[in-house]
Structure 1
């Protein structure tokens, strides 16, 4: 089973995720938002599954740098537009494959999945 893990290589949570996957012998491929970007179809699917409030990292500096009126009026459509322009807004990691779609790194939950 090979999964795709989406995120940004330099992120500490991503680094922990990579180590966990390797230690548990989970085959994975990496999609780096900074280098490869993301696409509208993936964002729509993720937002449909989890809601924009989960997909968009509202604790990060990228969120805080958005204009206040943009943050206040954010909805699913706005989240997609913002994330396409700035993939750093997307919560990390997102893992997908073989019927799995999860957001965030939770070692206990991942142990149940794999």
Structure 2
């Protein structure tokens, strides 16, 4: 299903991304942490347990900073001038700058 159309970078540069909202709960945060391997080696590892469990007076679970990578999921699928099979996309690098920790549930 190869497309021989030329890639036009100007179409993508001029594209205005629609404003989107991403809502998540503490359950989503915990499932993400477990999915990327938090507590996989040691279920009682205090450095990782804080991402999946309320411990010792901790009011909420902490959010892994890489959770932010989920917010842009799906925005590349219908870009004008860019045709590709998203199943073949390799996510090689991303930069995340956080000014404060994420809350354990929010609407962003």
TM class, shorter-length: under 0.3
Larger Rg: 1 or 2? Answer: 2
Higher strand share: 1
TM-score by structure 2 length?
0.25
Higher helix share: 1
TM-score by structure 1 length?
0.25
